[in-house]
């Protein structure tokens, strides 16, 4: 390693791979995003790793929707889903179902179930949720017709660091792309007697290229077998290609320890996302054994938190499949575009308050 003072400031096009958890062309799904202080920019939740990386846009993938899709194909359709109009997203999900025989998650902390409303699937899922997640995952509240099919997948992963990292105070004047955010890590010139030895065990440097400015760090913790990889690299075209690039770069490297002259600074991250995949809803499934059924709803939710204590992930995905070709339309009344506010007395024609809302300057930021 060079004698140059190494500074690991996680300025992401940093690919933040939560490999303890999981691990389309232009993505147009509508997202409900909560989290962050004075949140700026766009964050998109994608159900497939083929989603393109776009400068300035956060991109999040979690395996729960693929787990639900695999459950639909394996337990209900007995093969890949043949869908009306062959939506690109369905083809991508089918490709993973057929190509990747090893699951993204093993062991406890996740479930994938399906069944008809008449079989009591909601009650069965909720009993399983309580058994597996012990009150840390919300129960399902969904009306399902007796002949309709409900598919559900959920995942919960906690990754506590054995030794907490330190808060890095604002006086250090660190920023992410010019924005002042909260950092944690290992500051320079701090008393680390004893603690440094423990941090060395849980922090490994897998790559540090002084010329290109690229670096990759791995963090380990209990339970054994889980890892968190942070990679500050030039991304590939897609999330999946960027992941493959990072894995290829570290597959034969000899990890190096974090040394006392090094600085490690990672932004705190916290968000919750809920996305409806409208590309799939309303589409008929054409498999011969399941003629006439229709995707009535496809939704995924992901919450993620990374700070000095560790990483925490909670996610679930739901697919509602209507039987007998029912066409259930639902309405989304989301004021996400310019709109009019009017206040008046019911019996009078003249309003006493009008407002045309065309920007977010008068709106409260999410906490």
pTM of the model: 0.81
pLDDT band with cut points at 50, 70 and 90 for residue 18 = very low
| For range 157-163, the mean pLDDT | 89
Residue 149: per-residue pLDDT: 96
Residue 113's CB is within 10 A of a number of other CB atoms, namely 18
Distances (CA, A) of 281 to 13, 125, 209, 242, 330: 32, 22, 46, 29, 10
Give pLDDT tens digits for 93-108.
999 999 988 878 887 8
Closest CA to 311 of 300, 319, 320, 303: 303
Give pLDDT tens digits for 54-65.
888 889 999 999
For residues 318 and 142, the answer to whether their CB atoms sit within 8 Å is yes
Give the percent of the chain with pLDDT over 90: 43
First to last CA, the chain: 42
Residue 27: per-residue pLDDT: 40
Distance CA 17, CA 278 (A): 26
Element (H, E) at 215: strand 214-220
- Strand-pair partners of 311: 159, 306
């Amino acid at each position: 390693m060079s004698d140059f003072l190494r500074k690991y400031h996680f300025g992401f096009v940093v690919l933040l791979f939560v490999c303890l958890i999981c691990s389309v062309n232009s993505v147009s799904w509508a997202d409900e995003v909560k989290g962050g202080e004075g949140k700026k920019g766009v964050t998109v939740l994608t159900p497939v790793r083929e989603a393109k990386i776009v400068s300035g846009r956060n991109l999040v993938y979690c395996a729960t929707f693929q787990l639900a899709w695999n459950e639909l194909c394996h337990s209900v359709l007995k093969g890949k889903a043949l869908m009306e109009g062959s939506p690109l997203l369905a083809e991508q999900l089918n490709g993973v179902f057929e190509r990747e025989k090893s699951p993204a998650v093993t062991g406890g902390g996740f479930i994938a179930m399906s069944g008809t409303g008449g079989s009591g699937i909601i009650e069965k899922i909720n009993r399983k949720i309580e058994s597996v997640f012990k009150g840390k995952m919300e129960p399902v509240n969904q009306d399902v017709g007796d002949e309709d099919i409900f598919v559900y997948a959920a995942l919960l992963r906690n990754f506590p660091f054995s030794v907490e990292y330190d808060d890095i105070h604002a006086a250090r004047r660190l920023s992410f792309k010019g924005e002042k955010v909260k950092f944690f890590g290992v500051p320079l010139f701090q008393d680390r007697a004893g603690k440094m030895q423990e941090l060395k065990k849980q922090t490994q440097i897998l790559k540090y290229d002084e010329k290109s400015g690229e670096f990759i760090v791995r963090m380990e913790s209990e339970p054994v077998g889980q890892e968190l990889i942070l990679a500050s690299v030039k991304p590939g075209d897609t999330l999946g290609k960027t992941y493959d690039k990072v894995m290829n770069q570290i597959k034969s490297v000899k990890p190096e320890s974090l040394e006392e002259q090094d600085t490690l600074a990672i932004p705190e991250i916290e968000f919750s996302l809920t996305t409806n995949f409208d590309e799939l809803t309303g589409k008929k499934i054409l498999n011969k054994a399941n003629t006439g059924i229709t995707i009535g709803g496809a939704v995924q939710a992901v919450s993620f938190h990374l700070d000095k204590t560790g990483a925490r992930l909670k996610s679930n995905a739901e697919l509602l499949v209507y039987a007998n070709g029912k066409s259930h339309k639902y309405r989304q009344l989301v004021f996400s575009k310019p709109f009019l506010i009017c206040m008046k007395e019911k019996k009078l024609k003249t309003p006493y308050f009008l407002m045309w809302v065309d920007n977010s300057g008068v709106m409260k930021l999410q906490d």
